[in-house]
Amino acid sequence: MDELREDCGIFGIWNNADAARLTYLGLYALQHRGQESAGIAISDGTKLYSYKQMGYVNDVFNEHVLSILHGKNAIGHVRYSTYGASELRNAQPFAVEYKNGSLAIAHNGNIVNYEAIRSRLEAEGSIFQSTMDTEVIVHLTAKAEGETIHDRLASALNELKGAYSIVLLTERELIAARDPYGFRPLVIGELNGSLVFASETCALDLIGAHYIRDVLAGEMIVVSGDSMRSYMFSNKTPRASQCVFEHIYFARPDSIIFGKSVYSIRTALGRILGMESGVEADMVVPVPDSGVPAAIGFSQQTGIPFQMALIRNHYVGRTFIQPHQTIRDFNVKVKLNPIAEIISGKRIIIIDDSIVRGTTSKTLVKMIRDAGAKEVHMRISSPPIDYSCYYGIDTPTRAELISSSHTVKEIEQFIGADSLRYMSIEGLRKVVGEDADNFCYACFTGDYPEPFELTKRDHQLILFDEGSLHG
Ligand code: SF4
């Protein structure tokens, strides 16, 4: 249940008279990947225009804003900050002018050698506008030698370590690229002759584009005029390490990512979980929304009836005003409410996608018991999360992850369930199928594909905007 956060969604479109509006819609479909800020950069072939603000896509853009974004080529971004504070200067697309013209970039992922690169660039005299890792890509590209923008960008990307799916727009080109591990998804689509790039296919579906294929790990696609060229830009060819958690939780279930249907993967996870850890019970209840497909699979496998006995309030934002009086379990209750009439006197199997700190699961189990359940069994469609992610998912520190320091039995006691079982790594690999070796499982195994730095600088510059001064 939404204890982990994705760090961004990106979108790009080439050669469409309605580029601004279609980018807005693409971002709308990708809103689940980031809710802090949204932005669009657009090119009319001679100039770049950019607009970004804090807030949801629908709050940031309106008819007036979209009407002043002229051009046929655009990129867009929705952000959840995993690196750099949640403030306007860190919103994307990040647009700059440099000696060769203008460029704007939108990035999904985390650059794990960011601190080292930034320190080196600062020692050489670079001045940074933001505190986010994406800005080093711009500085490295601006400083790189090379005839073309894609030569310079390739040179920049080859200095990076970590996760990046990017779309970059200049006055005359749109470039999409994915890091050589392919941590984050990026798909290519087509809409009436216009090329489209998006983090997930749900963005293609909304605008009526059809899915062509994924941008490959280590591939750069350069679009200009009527041509699309593909380059394998990377000077290293590691084993692909696509984020398996995209399939378990982050991506929308109606998307195809890494070449597979997210919904199919999640229901298959539920079926395997049912095989591995079935238990006698009266009903299978998902923690909505992310637990629903796995609960359907679990129910199909075990024959235990599926019931939507937990109802989610879809209109709760990331923060809300707390009540004055103490309401027991308020933070979970405001999002989820059990239907006591269905639950009372029954043996319940709750299906969730993950347990992070354990506190949410503990509250949930208690709420279901308070609603009259006779037994509460918890089944988790991922293996225990023992390690933090450094590749673009906002996980707490290892010390805060309950399974890094507790056995399954101890967690079962802590959350107060009659039984607790997790998906096995073998089961997860089986579901992913023939591609299993091309995924990252580091948050379960600690086997990190790319080394990372743990230090984060303590940025001193605090910028206020007009709203915060008056607020
Ligand atoms: Fe995904 Fe986990 Fe790997 Fe991070 S560590 S990229 S969340 S699988």
Answer whether residue 255 is part of any domain. Answer: no
The predicted-structure confidence for 425-457, as pLDDT tens digits, reads as follows 999 999 999 899 999 999 999 999 988 766 554
Secondary element (H or E) of residue 212? strand 210-214
Ligand 1, closest atom to CA 387? 5
245 lines ligand 1 (CB under 6 A): yes
Q: Which of 296, 357, 349 is CA-nearest to residue 332?
A: 357
R_g (Cα) of the chain, nearest Å:
23
49 lines ligand 1 (CB under 6 A): no
Looking at the structure, tell me whether residues 213 and 299 fall in a common domain.
no
Looking at the structure, tell me whether residues 378 and 460 fall in a common domain.
yes
Looking at the structure, tell me whether residues 233 and 109 fall in a common domain.
yes
Looking at the structure, tell me whether residues 40 and 157 fall in a common domain.
yes
140 lines ligand 1 (CB under 6 A): no
Task: Clarify whether 443 is annotated catalytic.
Answer: no
Query: Residues with Cβ < 8 Å from 443, sequence gap 6 or more?
Result: 245, 385, 386, 387, 388, 389, 393, 395
Looking at the structure, tell me whether residues 364 and 219 fall in a common domain.
no
391 lines ligand 1 (CB under 6 A): yes
Ligand 1 pocket test: which of 82, 165, 389 has the largest number of ligand atoms within 8 Å of its C-beta? 389
Answer whether residue 254 is part of any domain. Answer: no
Looking at the structure, tell me whether residues 59 and 96 fall in a common domain.
yes
Looking at the structure, tell me whether residues 309 and 390 fall in a common domain.
yes
- pLDDT number for residue 84: 65
| Ligand 1 atom 4 nearest Cα | 389
Answer whether residue 259 is part of any domain. Answer: no
* Cα(467) to centroid(ligand 1), Å: 36
Answer whether residue 258 is part of any domain. Answer: no
Q: Which of 223, 238, 253 is the last residue of a domain?
A: 238
Looking at the structure, tell me whether residues 335 and 408 fall in a common domain.
yes
- pLDDT number for residue 82: 62
Ligand 1 pocket test: which of 7, 239, 241, 244 has the largest number of ligand atoms within 8 Å of its C-beta? 244
Helix axes 262-277, 425-432, angle to 10 degrees: 140
Q: Which of 198, 221, 238 is the last residue of a domain?
A: 238
The predicted-structure confidence for 25-76, as pLDDT tens digits, reads as follows 999 999 999 999 999 999 999 999 999 999 999 999 999 999 999 999 999 9
Answer whether residue 34 is part of any domain. Answer: yes
pTM of the full predicted structure? 0.92
441 lines ligand 1 (CB under 6 A): yes
- pLDDT number for residue 471: 30
Answer whether residue 298 is part of any domain. Answer: yes
389 lines ligand 1 (CB under 6 A): yes
Number of domains within the chain: 2
Domain containing residue 126: 5-238
Q: Which of 238, 255, 289 is the last residue of a domain?
A: 238
244 lines ligand 1 (CB under 6 A): yes
Looking at the structure, tell me whether residues 164 and 273 fall in a common domain.
no
Show contacts of 64-67: CB within 8 Å, 24+ apart.
Answer: 66/20, 66/21, 66/24
Ligand 1 pocket test: which of 108, 181, 243 has the largest number of ligand atoms within 8 Å of its C-beta? 243
* Cα(439) to centroid(ligand 1), Å: 9
Neighbour-count burial for 121-148, b at 16+ CB within 10 Å, e otherwise: beeeebebebbbbbbbbbbbbbebeeee
Answer whether residue 303 is part of any domain. Answer: yes
Q: How many C-beta atoms lie closer than 10 Å to residue 238's C-beta?
A: 14
Residue entry with tokens 């790594």: 425
- pLDDT number for residue 317: 63
Cis peptide before 293 (omega within 30 of 0): no
- pLDDT number for residue 442: 96
* Cα(186) to centroid(ligand 1), Å: 16
Looking at the structure, tell me whether residues 275 and 233 fall in a common domain.
no
* Cα(389) to centroid(ligand 1), Å: 5
Low-confidence ranges of the chain (pLDDT < 50): 457-471
Answer whether residue 244 is part of any domain. Answer: no
Neighbour-count burial for 415-439, b at 16+ CB within 10 Å, e otherwise: bbbbbbbbbebebbeebbeeeeebb
Neighbour-count burial for 317-351, b at 16+ CB within 10 Å, e otherwise: eeeeeeeeeeeeeeebeebbebeeebbeebbbbbb
- pLDDT number for residue 326: 72
Q: Is the Cα torsion angle 412, 413, 416, 417 positive or negative in sign?
A: positive
112 lines ligand 1 (CB under 6 A): no
* Cα(468) to centroid(ligand 1), Å: 35
Looking at the structure, tell me whether residues 225 and 351 fall in a common domain.
no
- pLDDT number for residue 319: 58
- Output the domain CATH number for residue 205: 3.60.20.10
Q: What is the largest CA-CA distance in the chain?
A: 72
- Output the domain CATH number for residue 448: 3.40.50.2020
Looking at the structure, tell me whether residues 218 and 295 fall in a common domain.
no
